[in-house]
Amino acid sequence: NKRNMSDVPQLIFPTVPLSNGLQIPIVGLGTSHHGGYSQDAIVYALTECGIRHIDTAKRYGCEEKLGKDIGQSGVARSDLWLTNKLWPADYTYTVAKKACLDSCSLMGVEYFDLFLMHWPGSFHSHCSNREMRAETWRALEELYKEGVCRAIGVSNFMVHHLEQLKEDCSIMPHVNQVEYHPFQQPNHLIEYCRQEGIVFEGYSPLAKGQALSNRTVLQIAEKHRRTPAQICIRWCIQNGVVTIPKSTKKKRIQENCQVFGFQLDDVDMASLGRLHDGRHVTWDPTNVE
């Protein structure tokens, strides 16, 4: 019994308000060059699962394909939340502005809902990372004022990076997108972001699959008759974290979206909260100056 999804998306995907009043859907679909890229998965997520938040990056090399697949889905651009990211090779004021506009034209869109600096480090040696971040961020501030980016933010930034940006620039990031799963809970950073009005967004919610075989996660999944992936995603949501699980498999994408019909109790949340062991399943920005 196939449901008509056309009027469902707004109902099933709650949103989180940014400091500028925009609403970002709390669950999105991540895209990546790792594990390939699936057109079928993108179209399925948009047309059958009610996904309206897609996260990509120039680094992943799929902007053009993604733009075509979004077009093919028939979902109106105004109903979509599209996040893209600026790779450090494109840092500096002039290059950053051009790179953003180039990404827009590759994807066939006039604006991004969110545009992020992908990493706090720079590939340029003529100035410090701090100076490079400030110069590049000024380009993002202008893109924001021009309406090319409806919101701007950063990814993989730690507290010291954000503190410097606060001193050096005029607009605080609307979002900070960082690795977040039961084994990697940067609570000090999350607290800092909340104090500064920065929405915290997490990537790799399943710890690249490592969380799916964890005994605690499996026990909670059994208790709720849910899958381990759904437990991890639900945990993110209940912590108020925007999350973007990645998958190229239709069944998994559907499963990852079905996380609003149940609630983890305080005991579950506390058990998952104790799993933090500091491991990174991707790059670790802690020591970037």
Residues tagged active-site: 60
pTM (predicted TM-score): 0.94
> In this model, does residue 2 exceed pLDDT 70?
no
* CA distances for 161 relative to 155, 195, 268, 287, angstroms: 11, 15, 33, 11
Work out the pLDDT band at 226, boundaries 50, 70, 90: very high
What is the spatial distance between Cα 94 and Cα 178, in angstroms, rounded to a whole number?
Answer: 26
Nearest to 9 by CA among 26, 21, 33: 26
Q: What is the pLDDT of residues 233-272, one digit of tens each?
A: 999 999 999 999 999 999 999 999 999 999 999 999 999 9
Please give the annotated binding residues for substrate, written as ranges: 118
Average pLDDT over the chain, rounded to whole?
94
Instruction: Give the chain's end-to-end CA distance (angstroms, integer).
Output: 55
What CATH number belongs to 9-208+241-249?
3.20.20.100
Please give the annotated binding residues, written as ranges: 118
Write the burial class of residue 6 (CB in 10 Å: 0-12 exposed, 13-18 middle, 19+ buried): exposed
Question: What are the DSSP E strand ranges found in the chain?
Answer: 15-17, 23-25, 29-30, 53-55, 81-86, 114-117, 152-155, 175-179, 199-203, 242-243
Tokens 């974290």 appear where?
Answer: 241
Write down the domain spans for the chain: 9-208+241-249
